[in-house]
Structure 1
Amino acid sequence: MVLEIADLSILPGKNAEFEVAIEAGVKEVISKAKGFIGFKVQKGIENPNRYLLMIEWETLENHMVDFRESPEFAQWRSYVGPYFEKPPAMEHFELLIS
């Protein structure tokens, strides 16, 4: 299992719209991708315009090749991209201790 963490900063005043868009985008697009396991979204407390999107994938290739190189990636970005204040920072993690 690979954990993708995307750090998202959105435009001020767009929280409610963004929260609807990110939920719809994950449920309607990403959740159908090969290797998708599950997701969580966390909202910043000190900075309420900052969100962490955490997606579990079966493999790194499922995210970076199967999804990111598919037409569905552009579809996903059409849901959330208009709300980004700056490009998201994204990294992958593997479980060390459970």
Structure 2
Amino acid sequence: MILELADIRIQPGKQAEFDAAIQRGIDQVISKAKGFRGYKVNKGIESPERYVLQIFWETLENHTVDFRQSPAFTEWRGIVGPFFAAPPVVEHFTLLAKSD
């Protein structure tokens, strides 16, 4: 399993609108993508315009090829992109250890 970690900064004062948009984008677009296995969204307390989106994919290619190179990616960006203050920083991770 691969973890996609997106560090998202949005425009000030748009949190409530973005909260709805990111949930809609995940439910309507990303959750239907090949290899999608789940997600978490966290929003900043000290930095209320900062969000950390975690998406779990079966393989790296499910995100980088199957999703990113599909029309669904354009649809996703159309929903959440207008709120971005800067392009998200996106990285991928594999699990090293975890607690139960």
How far apart are the structure 1 equivalents of 2:41 and 2:68? 19
How far apart are the structure 2 equivalents of 1:78 and 1:17? 14
Aligned partner of 2:24 in structure 1 is: 24
How far apart are the structure 1 equivalents of 2:13 and 2:49? 8
Aligned partner of 1:76 in structure 2 is: 76
Letter in 2 for 1:61: E
Aligned partner of 1:89 in structure 2 is: 89
Letter in 1 for 2:73: F
What's the TM-score once normalised by structure 1's chain length?
A: 0.99
Q: What's the CA shift for 1:77?
A: 0.3
How far apart are the structure 2 equivalents of 1:71 and 1:95? 29
How far apart are the structure 2 equivalents of 1:76 and 1:53? 13
Identity among equivalent positions (%) equals 63
How far apart are the structure 2 equivalents of 1:65 and 1:29? 15
Q: What's the CA shift for 1:53?
A: 0.4
Aligned pairs, how many? 98
Q: What's the CA shift for 1:83?
A: 0.1
How far apart are the structure 2 equivalents of 1:90 and 1:53? 9
How far apart are the structure 2 equivalents of 1:32 and 1:93? 21
RMSD: 0.4
Q: What's the CA shift for 1:70?
A: 0.2
Q: What's the CA shift for 1:76?
A: 0.2
What's the TM-score once normalised by structure 2's chain length?
A: 0.97
How far apart are the structure 2 equivalents of 1:46 and 1:30? 28
